[in-house]
């Protein structure tokens, strides 16, 4: 049933779709020495204790991405997985600073991703949007420079987001950057309430103008916040297998997805960084269906939510629903 339902994915870092096999292929192509001997060796290294322990490995892995063709190949491989999972619309994040800080041009990154997405729409019928994320462990000035650098390609992006190490980097730090991005016509989303407190979700909404919250699972700590999110139907892009691997919840059986859904929150299911967390979007649906005993109606609601929480036009959306 899960496979049969066309769905949208709204929380996906394209750098997080780098499978070890492609990592080795790109390392060979670009003459890069990896600190691993084999694909199995890489997979064995994917044991995380929290968000930071994942981010360290994830940023190192992205080092094999050098050319426009590399970014194209990465994105194309993800789109083929979308086709397998019956994902018909996807809104993907990319982290320009992970690449520009090691000397890769912004243009190289965005052109590779964008051309693969265009091909995906033409050949696979998958519609898509690009969201540019700022790394919150870096300064607000660096984010502002990135926003300015990206101006020639704003017509290829639907919005901006905020990711990386959450605790100690509250949304307020990026208030001016997000105000400028919105002035340029970009939408705003932000990771909040993954490891950080419910207050960061308020901050993302009130200071950044975020229209959608990535993760947001900590919202249940604040009843007033839950009321607000329900009343305004602010979408939460939840990533169950990511939360399990990064120990946001000790066991998937403890995950609050079902509880949030039953409170009327606009929650969706997504894969975050599937190459690192052991599953694409259908694996995430199947895992929560089993761990939380979700009914068929609840699965259908989650799939409907994925379109209602998306930035696709109302006409297209009605076609999917
Ligand atoms: N949280 C924060 N930063 C990230 C994530 C995440 O889940 N995935 C990739 N970068
Ligand atoms: Zn994420």
pLDDT, tens digit (0-9, with 9 covering 90-100), for 62-83: 999 999 999 999 999 999 999 9
DSSP symbol at 208: T
Tell how far the Cα of 215 is from the centroid of ligand 1, in angstroms.
Answer: 9
State the closest ligand 1 atom to the C-alpha of 246, by its place in the atom list counted from 1: 7
Cα 214 from Cα 193, distance rounded (Å): 8
| ipTM reported for the complex surpasses 0.85 | yes
Give the neighbor-by-neighbor strand order of the sheet with 127-135: 7-13, 87-94, 127-135, 159-163, 187-192, 212-215, 236-238, 267-269
CATH of the domain spanning 7-310, picked from 3.30.1330.10, 3.90.700.10, 3.20.20.140, 3.40.50.2300: 3.20.20.140
Tell how far the Cα of 140 is from the centroid of ligand 2, in angstroms.
Answer: 19
Are the C-beta atoms of residues 219 and 211 closer than 8 Å to each other? no
Q: Which residues' Cβ are closer than 6 Å to ligand 1?
A: 13, 16, 51, 163-164, 191, 194, 242, 272-273
Tell how far the Cα of 272 is from the centroid of ligand 2, in angstroms.
Answer: 5
State the closest ligand 1 atom to the C-alpha of 164, by its place in the atom list counted from 1: 3
Q: What percent of the chain has pLDDT over 70?
A: 100
Instruction: Look at ligand 1, atom 2, and give the residue with the nearest C-alpha.
Output: 164
Catalytic residue among 19, 91, 166, 194: 194
Specify the pLDDT at position 314: 79
C-alpha closest to that of 162 among 114, 212, 90, 117 = 212
The environment of the single-atom ion ligand 2, i.e. residues with CB closer than 5 A, is 272
Tell me if residue 211 is catalytic. no
State the closest ligand 1 atom to the C-alpha of 15, by its place in the atom list counted from 1: 9
Tell how far the Cα of 273 is from the centroid of ligand 2, in angstroms.
Answer: 7
Give residue-wise pLDDT tens across range 90-117: 999 999 999 999 999 999 999 999 999 9
State the closest ligand 1 atom to the C-alpha of 194, by its place in the atom list counted from 1: 1
Specify the pLDDT at position 26: 98
Residue 274 has pLDDT above 90, yes or no: yes
DSSP symbol at 11: E
Residue 40 has pLDDT above 80, yes or no: yes
Ligand nearest to the CA of 276: 1
Ligand nearest to the CA of 136: 1
Q: Which pLDDT band holds residue 57 (cuts at 50, 70, 90)?
A: very high
Residue 30 has pLDDT above 80, yes or no: yes
Tell how far the Cα of 191 is from the centroid of ligand 2, in angstroms.
Answer: 7
State the closest ligand 1 atom to the C-alpha of 166, by its place in the atom list counted from 1: 2
Ligand nearest to the CA of 237: 2
Q: Tell me the residue ranges of DSSP E strands in the chain.
A: 7-13, 87-94, 127-135, 159-163, 187-192, 212-215, 236-238, 267-269
Helix (H, G, I), strand (E, B) or coil at 266: coil
pTM above 0.90, yes or no: yes
Tell how far the Cα of 251 is from the centroid of ligand 1, in angstroms.
Answer: 19
Ligand nearest to the CA of 16: 1
Cα 237 from Cα 41, distance rounded (Å): 31
Specify the pLDDT at position 195: 98
Specify the pLDDT at position 319: 78
Q: Which pLDDT band holds residue 278 (cuts at 50, 70, 90)?
A: very high
What interhelical angle do 198-206 and 223-231 show, nearest 10?
40
Instruction: Look at ligand 1, atom 7, and give the residue with the nearest C-alpha.
Output: 272
Give residue-wise pLDDT tens across range 234-251: 999 999 999 999 999 999
């Amino acid at each position: 049933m899960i496979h049969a339902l066309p769905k949208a994915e709204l929380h996906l870092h394209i750098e997080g779709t780098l499978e070890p096999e492609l990592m080795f292929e790109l390392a060979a192509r670009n003459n890069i020495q990896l600190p691993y001997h084999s694909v199995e060796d890489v997979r064995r290294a994917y044991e995380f204790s929290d968000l930071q322990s994942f981010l360290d490995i994830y940023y190192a892995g992205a080092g094999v991405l050098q050319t426009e063709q590399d970014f194209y190949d990465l994105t194309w491989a993800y789109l083929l997985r979308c086709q397998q999972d019956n994902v018909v619309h996807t809104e993907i994040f990319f982290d320009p600073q992970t690449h520009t800080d090691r000397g890769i041009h912004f243009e190289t990154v965005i052109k590779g991703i964008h051309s693969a997405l265009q091909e995906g729409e033409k050949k696979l019928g998958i519609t898509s949007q690009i969201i540019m994320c700022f790394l919150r462990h870096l300064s607000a000035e660096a984010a502002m420079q990135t926003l300015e650098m990206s101006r020639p390609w704003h017509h290829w992006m639907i919005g901006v987001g905020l990711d990386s190490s959450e605790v100690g980097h509250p949304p307020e730090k990026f208030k001016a950057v997000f105000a400028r991005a919105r002035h340029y016509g970009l939408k705003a989303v932000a990771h909040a309430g993954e490891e950080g407190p419910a207050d960061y979700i308020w901050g993302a909404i009130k200071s950044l103008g975020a229209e959608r919250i990535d993760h947001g699972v900590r919202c249940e700590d604040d009843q007033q916040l839950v009321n607000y999110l329900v009343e305004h139907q602010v979408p939460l892009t939840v990533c169950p297998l990511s939360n399990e691997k990064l120990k946001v919840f000790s066991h998937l059986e403890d995950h609050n997805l079902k509880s949030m859904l039953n409170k009327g929150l606009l929650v969706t299911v997504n894969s975050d960084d599937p190459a690192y967390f052991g599953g694409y979007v259908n694996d995430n649906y199947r895992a929560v269906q089993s761990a939380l005993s979700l009914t068929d109606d609840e699965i259908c609601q989650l799939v409907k939510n994925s379109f209602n929480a998306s930035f696709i036009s109302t006409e297209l959306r009605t076609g999917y629903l």
